[in-house]
Amino acid sequence: MKKRWVFPAIYLASAAIILTAVLMFQAGNTETNPEDENNNGQGPTTSYNEDDAVEVNRPVENFVMPVTDKNSAVIEKQFWDADASKEEQEASFVYYNGMYHPNTGVDIKMKDGETFDVVASLSGTVIRAEEDSLLGNVVEIEHLNGVKTYYQALSNVTVKAGDFVDQGQKIAEAGTSLMNKDSVHVHFEIRKDSVAVNPTEYFDRPVTALLDEEGQASEESSEPADEQEKKPAEGTDKPEDGEEKDGDEGTDSAEEEENVSYNI
């Protein structure tokens, strides 16, 4: 004990014993998840509440026409645009029950006039799939940040509310509605926070292009599509050139107005 090195040696030995005990205690309380040993170094695979995993790195999608063969499709009636020429605005009005309505979407049909598959323009969740007495079968799909797409005048709907659909997945077939009984078509709308925008300006563009732009539609386009189309006023004549055109919006193609088709 009189040696100079005795006490330092005792201190070092004690510290080593304590450190070893702490490490052994920690090792004994560490639980190993067997699934983590087989994930090939991909990180933890913990699941909470047994919910399905969400793909956080999903690529940004471009809006696409809701048809499988866009080369055979034509736009029968265009979106009513406040900045368009008078002739273009006249062609985009929808006539129903004595009233003219600005069209808040586009009406798409095939060149041969036959029915066709209607597909989802973007991936999203179906929040409405039901039959409407005026609009025909209606499907509404919710996407991100207030973006929704509407599909009307459908037949043979294959989805229901709550379904998640991938872009390009069939949701129905084209049909007719009371707004347009003579043309087999789909009425398609894109809305951001319930404001309708011109679909043709966003086809083949990413959804982020819509999210980054503001003021895409006038105040007349701000009501939900189904509420606008269900209550058209009656007995209103078509306004003369140069006069203001009143009326609700969100309706499909007119039967009594000459159709104007645009090749895609």
Any residues with CB less than 8 A from the CB of 249 and at least 6 apart, and which?
80, 101, 102, 103, 104, 196, 220, 221, 223, 228, 229
The pLDDT of residue 219: 43
Strands 106-110 and 136-142: unpaired
Model confidence over 26-61: pLDDT tens digits? 777 655 555 555 555 444 444 445 544 444 456 889
**Is the pLDDT reported for residue 235 higher than 80?**
no
Q: What is the pTM of this model?
A: 0.61
